[in-house]
C-alpha cells in the first residue's frame, strides 16, 4: 500500500461523496488532509472525524479570490501542497438545451469548469517550485458521452477533460502528473439535484448494472496521486462500469 506520510493533500469537495472517500483513503495511508469545501461547517465536521491534524477551509471554487485565500491559508498552515484532488462539482437541473436557463448553465460551468481551472492555477506554481506534484481532476462519463437533458454538466465535464490534458502536457517536463477520472454515477448527495428519470437513465447505461462505489473511485485516485504514477500524465481513467466507448 502506497505510503503518503509527509505529504499534504488538498481535496476540494472533500466534505462528502467521492471527495470524502479520497480524504479517508489518503489519510489512512499517512497524508495530511486539507478539505476545501463550500460547506465550511460540513468540512469542519469531516476534518474532525478524520483527525490526524486534518484541516478544513471554506471556499467557493467558482470565485478566484476565494481560491487564492484558501491557498494562502493552506500554505500558512502546512507549508506545501503535494497532492490536489479536485472533486467539487454540481450536477445542475435536468432540462433540454432549449429549455435550459441561461443563468443555470453559467452557474454549472462556473463551478465545474472554471472552478477546476482556478484550483489548478492556484496550486500549480507551488508544485513547479518543488519540482513535484500530483493532480487528479474529477470529470465524468457525461464529459465523454454527453447525457441528454444534462447539457451544462456534460459540457463542463468535457471541459475538465480538455483542461487536464492541456495542463498535463504543460507540466510534463517535471515530476508533476495531471490526470482525470471519468466516473459513472455514484450514490452521493449529487443525486438530490437530479430527477429520478435521469438517475434511472444513468443506471440503464452501466453494463455492471450498479452504481459506482465511492471507495472504488478513491482506490484508483490514490494510485494516480502516488509517486508510483511517475509516467502517466494528461490521461483519462475510466470509472464507468463498462459504459465508456473510448
CATH code for the domain in which residue 70 is found: 3.40.50.720
Q: How large is the average pLDDT for residues 11-16? A: 97
Please check whether residue 245 lies inside any domain of the structure: no
* Residue 2 falls inside a structural domain: no
* Mean pLDDT value across residues 59-79: 98
167-223 tens-digit pLDDT: 999 999 999 999 999 998 777 766 666 678 877 887 888 888 888 899 999 999 999
Tell me the mean pLDDT in the region 133-160.
Answer: 96
> 81-95, pLDDT tens digit by residue?
999 999 999 999 999
Number of domains in the chain: 1
How many other CB atoms are there within 10 angstroms of residue 217's CB atom? 25
- Does the residue 205 lie in any domain? yes
The model carries a pTM of: 0.94
Per-residue pLDDT, 209: 82
Q: What pLDDT is attached to residue 192? A: 66
Q: Where are the alpha helices (DSSP H) in 7-150?
A: 17-28, 40-50, 64-78, 102-109, 115-130, 141-145
The pLDDT assigned to 184 comes to 85
Taking the C-alpha atoms of residue 176 and residue 168, their distance in angstroms, rounded to an integer, is 8
| Torsion angle in degrees (nearest 10) through CA of 43, 48, 53, 54 | -20
Distance CA 241, CA 217 (A): 11
Q: What percent of the chain has pLDDT over 90?
A: 83
Residue 1 lies in a domain: no
In-domain check, residue 244: no
pLDDT of residue 214: 95
Position 189 scores a pLDDT of 66
Longest Cα–Cα distance in the chain = 50
87 near 17, Cβ under 8 Å?
Answer: yes
142 is in which domain, residue-wise? 8-239
156 inside domain: yes
Q: Which residues are catalytic?
A: 153
Amino acid at each position: 500500500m502506497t505510503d503518503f506520510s509527509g505529504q499534504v493533500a488538498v481535496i476540494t469537495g472533500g466534505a462528502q461523496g467521492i471527495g470524502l472517500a479520497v480524504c479517508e483513503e489518503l489519510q489512512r495511508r499517512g497524508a495530511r488532509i486539507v478539505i476545501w469545501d463550500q460547506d465550511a461547517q460540513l468540512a469542519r465536521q469531516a476534518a474532525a472525524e478524520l483527525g490526524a491534524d486534518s484541516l478544513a477551509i471554506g471556499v467557493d471554487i467558482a470565485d478566484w479570490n476565494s481560491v487564492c485565500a484558501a491557498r494562502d491559508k493552506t500554505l500558512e498552515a502546512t507549508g506545501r501542497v503535494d497532492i490536489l484532488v479536485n472533486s467539487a462539482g454540481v450536477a445542475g437541473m435536468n432540462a433540454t438545451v432549449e429549455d435550459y436557463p441561461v443563468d443555470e448553465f453559467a452557474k454549472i460551468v462556473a463551478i465545474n469548469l472554471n472552478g477546476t481551472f482556478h484550483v489548478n492555477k492556484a496550486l500549480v506554481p507551488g508544485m513547479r517550485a518543488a519540482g513535484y506534484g500530483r493532480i487528479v481532476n474529477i470529470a465524468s462519463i457525461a464529459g465523454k458521452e454527453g447525457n441528454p437533458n444534462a447539457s451544462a454538466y456534460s459540457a463542463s465535464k468535457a471541459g475538465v477533460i480538455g483542461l487536464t490534458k492541456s495542463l498535463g502536457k504543460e507540466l510534463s517536463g517535471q515530476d508533476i502528473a495531471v490526470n482525470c477520472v471519468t466516473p459513472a454515477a455514484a450514490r452521493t448527495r449529487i443525486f438530490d439535484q437530479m430527477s429520478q428519470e435521469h438517475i434511472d437513465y444513468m443506471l440503464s447505461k452501466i453494463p455492471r448494472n450498479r452504481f459506482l462505489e465511492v471507495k472504488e473511485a478513491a482506490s484508483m485516485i490514490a494510485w494516480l496521486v502516488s509517486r508510483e504514477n511517475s509516467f502517466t500524465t494528461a490521461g483519462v481513467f475510466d470509472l464507468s462500469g463498462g459504459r465508456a466507448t473510448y
